[in-house]
Chain A
Amino acid sequence: MAEKIGVYVCGGCGLGEAVDLDAVCTAVKNKYQPQCPVIKAVPVLCSSEGKAAIDADIAEAGLDAVCLCACSPRAKWDVFTFGDKIQVERVNLREQGVWSFNKELGALEKAKGIDDLQLICNEYAMMGVVKMIKSNIPNPEVPETCKTIMVLGGGWTGLNAANAAASLGYDVVLVEQAAALGGKVANFYKTFPLSYPYTEAHETGLDKLITQVTTNSKVSVLTGTTLEKLSGAPGLYKAELSGGQNLDIGAVVLATGWVPGDTKYLAPMGYGEIKNVITTAELEKMAKDGPIVRPSDGKAPKSVAFLINTALCSVDSCPADVALECEKEEQAPVNPPAEGEEAPAEAPFCDLESQRHLALSSELSSLVALKQANYVVEKDPEAAAYIFYDHMMVPGINERYYKAAQDNPGVMLSKAQIKSVKAGANGSVVVSMTDTLLGEAIEIVADLVVLPTSLVPTTAHSPVVNLEYRQGLAFPDLGLFEGYADSNYICFPYETRRTGIYAAGAVRQPMGLALASEDAMGAALKAIQCVSSANRGVAVHPRSGDRSFPVFNFVRCTQCKRCTEECPFGALDDDPKGTPMPNPSRCRRCGTCMGACPERVISFDNYNIDMIGTMIREMQVPAKIEQGGPRVLILACENDAYPALDMAAMRGKPWSPYVRVIPVRCLGSVNAIWVADAMSKGIDGVLLLGCKYGDDYQCHFVKGSELCNRRKENISESLKRLGVEPERVDQFQVAIDEYDVVPSMIDKFMDMIVKMGPNPFKGY
Chain B
Amino acid sequence: MSSPVRIQPDPSFVRELQAAGGESVKKCYQCATCSVACPLSPAENPYPRKEMVWAQWGLKDKLMNDIDVWLCHNCGTCSDLCPRGAKPADTLAAIRNMTYRKLVGPAKIGEWMSSSKGLPYLAGIPAVLWLFIWLLTTGLSIPAGEIKFSKVFPGDFTIDPLFGAVAVFVAWSFYKGVTNMWKSFASLPTTFEVGAHCEKPTLVQAIIDVLRDDLYTHRQFNECGADNTERSKGHWALLAAFVALAIVTSVVAVSHWGSKVPGFHWLHALGDTPMVLYSPVKLLAIVGTVLGFYGLTMLTRRRLNLDAQKQGSSFYDWYLLGVIWAVFVTGLGSMVLRLAGVAGLAYPMYYLHLVAVFMMIAYLPWSKLGHLVYRTTALVYARMSGRKPLTRVEDKIFEI
Contacts and interface: CB of A to CB of B under 8 A. Distances in A.
A412 B29 CA distance: 11
A550 B372 CA distance: 91
A440 B6 CA distance: 10
A384 B6 contact: no
A440 B9 CA distance: 15
A412 B9 contact: yes
A440 B5 contact: yes
B30 interface: yes
Interface in A142-164: none
Nearest to B18: A409
A583 interface: no
B98 to A, nearest CB: 14
Interface in B40-88: 45, 50, 53-54, 56-59, 84
B15 A442 contact: no
B145 interface: no
Interface string B1-38: 11111111111101100100000001101100000000
Contacts of B8: 445
A37 to B, nearest CB: 71
Given A439-B50, A440-B2, A382 B11 contact: yes
B12 A438 contact: no
Given A303-B9, A444-B7, A438 B57 contact: yes
Interface stretch (A281-289, A400-408, A472-480, A676-684): A400-408
Nearest to B3: A441
Interface in A430-455: 432-434, 437-445
A158 B312 CA distance: 50
A679 B316 CA distance: 89
Nearest to B7: A442
Contacts of A444: 6-7, 9
A412 B56 contact: yes
Contacts of A407: 26-27
Contacts of A438: 7, 50, 53-54, 57, 59
Interface string A596-614: 0000000000000000000
Nearest to A432: B4
Contact of B14 (A303, A382, A409, A439): A409
Contacts of A437: 30, 53
Contacts, number: 71
B4 A443 contact: yes
A442 B4 contact: yes
Contacts of A384: 9-11, 58
A568 interface: no
A414 interface: yes
Contacts of A409: 11, 14-15, 18, 26, 58
A386 interface: yes
Contacts of A441: 1-5
Contacts of B5: 440-443
A382 B12 contact: yes
A410 interface: yes
Interface residues of A, number: 28
B27 A406 contact: yes
A386 B14 CA distance: 14
A463 to B, nearest CB: 44
A309 to B, nearest CB: 16
Contacts of B50: 438-439
Band of interface residues on B: 20 to 34
B3 A403 contact: no
A406 B84 CA distance: 12
Given A382-B12, A407-B27, A438-B54, A443 B6 contact: yes
Nearest to A385: B11
Contacts of B4: 419, 432-434, 440-443
A437 B50 CA distance: 8
Contacts of B6: 442-445
A406 B45 CA distance: 24
Nearest to B25: A409
Nearest to A406: B26
A377 B15 CA distance: 13
A410 B7 contact: no
Interface string B235-248: 00000000000000
A406 B5 CA distance: 24
Nearest to B32: A437
Contacts of A406: 26-27, 29
Contacts of B14: 409-410
**Which of A386, A437, A442, A445 is the most central at the interface, judged by chain B CB atoms within 10 Å of its CB?**
A437
Nearest to A446: B9
Given A406-B26, A438-B7, A412 B1 contact: no
A614 B57 CA distance: 75
B365 to A, nearest CB: 28
Contacts of B11: 377, 382-384, 409-410, 412
Interface in A350-383: 377, 382-383
**Which of B10, B26, B45, B50 is the most central at the interface, judged by chain A CB atoms within 10 Å of its CB?**
B26
A8 to B, nearest CB: 60
Contact of B57 (A383, A412, A419, A445): A412
A703 B18 CA distance: 59
B343 to A, nearest CB: 55
A443 B7 contact: yes
A445 B7 CA distance: 8
Contacts of A419: 4
Contacts of B56: 412-413
A507 to B, nearest CB: 34
B55 to A, nearest CB: 10
A5 B91 CA distance: 81
Nearest to B29: A406
Nearest to B50: A439
Contacts of B15: 409
B2 A386 contact: no
Contact of B26 (A386, A408, A432): A408
Contacts of B57: 412, 414, 438
Contact of A414 (B2, B10, B53, B84): B53
A706 B306 CA distance: 65
**Which of A303, A408, A444 is the most central at the interface, judged by chain B CB atoms within 10 Å of its CB?**
A444
A111 B54 CA distance: 79
A368 to B, nearest CB: 20
A408 B58 CA distance: 12
B62 to A, nearest CB: 9
B40 to A, nearest CB: 20
B385 to A, nearest CB: 19
A414 B30 CA distance: 9
A301 to B, nearest CB: 13
A464 to B, nearest CB: 41
A725 B33 CA distance: 61
Given A384-B58, A409-B14, A442-B7, 4 more contacts: A382-B11, A410-B11, A412-B9, A412-B11
16 contacts: A384-B9, A384-B11, A406-B26, A406-B29, A408-B26, A412-B11, A412-B58, A414-B53, A434-B4, A437-B53, A438-B59, A439-B50, A441-B2, A441-B4, A443-B6, A445-B8
The 6 closest A-B pairs by CB, nearest first: A443-B4, A441-B4, A409-B14, A443-B6, A384-B11, A410-B11
